Every structure is written in C-alpha cells, then in structure tokens.
Amino acid sequence: MLHGRRDTLVRALLAHGENELAGRTPSLSDEQLERIGELAEHYAVSPEHAAPQGGSIGITRAISLATLDVVEGASRELHRTEGQRDRSAEEEALRRLGAGR
C-alpha cells in the first residue's frame, strides 16, 4: 500500500489542476490518507486503469484520482490529465499546509 502524505497529495493535485481539492488536504483524517494510499496503489497497477498505450497511469495521476474518490465520494476526470507543475501555487499550498500543523 502507498502511504499518502499531505505534501505529496498537494503536489499531485496541483499538477492536475485540482487546486480547490489541494486546499482541503490539511483537514484529511489519517483514515482518509490510508484509504487514498490503498486506492492509489490499485489505480497505479490495475489493468482497468492502465494508460491507453499500456502500463501504469502514473503515480501522481493515481494519487489525484484516489483523493477525488475519497474526498468527493465519486469519480470524475481530473481538471488536467497531464501533470503540469505551477511552482508558485505549490509553494503557497505547502506553506499553508505547514502553517496548519
């Protein structure tokens, strides 16, 4: 099982355009983090979630999809399918995450 850390979730979510969801990361319970890790591992290795060209969908995508499922209670497509880092948004979200500890 993958172990979800809040800072890892923030980076993965921001890379896929899920800024609002990334902002909710500090309030996730340990149980939610554990479930996200379980689902992310499933998505990363499951044939039904394989990338169109075959193989894994990638860990940041798997983490983002799992977080959506756990937090929103339903599956949907990510705002961005390809991970693209926005360093300023990432730094701000991580700063807020650190302040919330």
Q: How far apart are the first and last CA of the chain?
A: 25
Q: Does residue 1 lie in a domain region?
A: no
**Total number of domains constituting the chain:** 1
Domain assignment of residue 70, yes or no: yes
CB 8 within 8 A of CB 78: no
Segment 48-91, tens digit of pLDDT = 766 666 666 788 899 999 999 999 998 888 887 666 666 777 77
Which residue in the block uniquely carries the two structure tokens 């689902």?
A: 39
pLDDT digits (tens, 9 = 90+) for 36-53: 999 999 988 877 766 666
Domain that holds residue 15: 6-99
Task: Give the tokens for residue 25.
Answer: 């990361």
